Amino acid sequence: MKGRVLLLLIIVFVGFSCRNSKSKTAEFVFPQSDSVPVSEAEKLSPEAIADISKNISSPVEIANLLQTLQVPFSQNYLAESIDANKQSTNFDKALKLGILGADLGYLNMYEKTGSSLEVLSSIRKIAEDIKVGQFFDFESIKRLSKNKSNLDSLLFISIDSYNKIDNYLRSNDRGQLSALMIIGVWIEGQYLATQVVSQYPDKMLSDRIGEQKIILNDLLLLISPYCNRDPEFTSLCKDMQDIKEKYRDIRITYTQGEPVSVEKDGGLTIKQTETSVVTMSKEQLNAVIEITKNIRDRLILNN
C-alpha cells in the first residue's frame, strides 16, 4: 500500500515537473510587469549592457532577408529627410546616427554605392558633432563603396565602425547616446521590414517582424535608466512602450526537436529541427506597421 502511494506521488510529481518545464519553453512571454522598472535597469552591469547591445539584430540581417525574398531595392524606404546640419541636440544626433546606420546597411547590401556616399557624409557630420568621428573609417568606406567587388570588406568596416562607437560611448559614461544609437538602428530596420511587408506580403518577413517581440524587452532595458532624464527620452520611452503594447498578444510558440549535424568537406553543419512559430493576425501586423511608421516618421522629421 505504502509503495503504491509513493509510486503515485512520484508519477504526480514527474507529471507536474514535465508540464511545467514544457510550458516554460513552449511559448515566449514578456516578463510579468508592464514596464521595466528603472531600478532594475540601473542595476545592470556594464557587461550586461554590452551584452544587450551586442544582442540586438543587425539591419544587415533584415536587408539579407529582403534580398532572399527578391524584394527590389527602393530609395523610398530611406530616411532622406534627415539633414545632418539641423540636428540640434545630442539626443537627435545619436538617434539619427543609428537610423542612418541602418540605411547604410540596407544600401550596402543592395550595393547602391552612389546613394551610400550621401548617407555616409551625413553620418560623418553627425559622428563628428558628438565627438566619435575618429572611430568611423570614412575614407576606407568611401573607397570600398566606389569599388563594388569589396562588399565583404565594406560591410565589415561599416559594422566595425559602429561597434567601436558603441563601445567608446558606453565606456565613457555616454551610455545614453549608445542606447539611442541602438534604438535608432532597430527602429529603422523595423520600419524597413514593415514597409516592405505591407507592399510585398510574405509569411517569412511577417514572422520576422513578429519575432521582434523577443528582443523588445532588452531594448526597453537599455533605455529605461534614461527615461526620466529629459522630455525627449521620456517621449521615446513611451514610444517603445507603445510598440511593446502592440506586440502583447502576438504569440511565439516552439516545437521541440534535436539538432542534426552533418560533417562535409572538413566542415560541420548543424541543422536545427526545433522551430519557432509566430501566430499574428492581419490586424496585429497592421497595428505594428502603423505604429512603427508613425514613430519613425516623427523621429526623422524632428529636426
Partner 1 sequence: MNRACFTQTILKLKYSTCELHHTNKINYTMMKKSIITLAFLFTFGLLSFGQVTDPLISNCAINAGANARYLKDFRIQLGKTASQSELRYKANMSLWKNTKYRFTMCNAQDSKGQLILSIKDESNKLILSSFDKKTGKIFSFIDFECQKSGIYQINYDFTNGQQGSGVGVVSMIK
Chain residues in the site for partner 1 (CB under 8 A): 24-25, 28, 51-52, 54-58, 60-61, 64-65, 67-68, 109, 134-135, 137, 151-153, 155-157, 159-160, 163-164, 168, 204, 207-208, 211, 214-215, 218, 252, 254, 259, 261, 267-276
Dihedral class, residue 44 (left if φ above 0, else alpha if ψ from -120 to 50, else beta)? beta
Q: Least distance to partner 1 from the beta carbon of 64, Å?
A: 6
Which residue's CB is nearer to partner 1, number 25 or number 199?
25
CB of 2 to partner 1, least distance (A): 36
Q: Which is nearer to partner 1, 213 or 246 (CB)?
A: 213
Question: 105 vs 175, which CB is nearer to partner 1?
Answer: 105
Q: Work out how close the CB of 204 gets to partner 1 at its nearest, in angstroms, rounded to a whole number.
A: 6
Q: How many residues does the chain have?
A: 303
CB of 289 to partner 1, least distance (A): 19
Q: CB of 294: closest distance to partner 1 in angstroms?
A: 25
Judged by beta carbon, residue 4 or residue 24, the one nearer partner 1 is: 24
Our CB check for partner 1 shows the closer of 82 and 102 to be: 102
| Shortest Cβ 275–partner 1 spacing (Å) | 5
Cα–Cα distance, 72 to 51 (Å, whole number): 34
Cell 507529471, residue? Answer: 15
Longest dimension (CA), the chain: 84
- Closer by beta carbon to partner 1, 212 or else 224: 212
Specify the residue, 79 or 193, whose C-beta has the smaller distance to partner 1: 193
Nearest approach in angstroms of CB 288 to partner 1 is 16
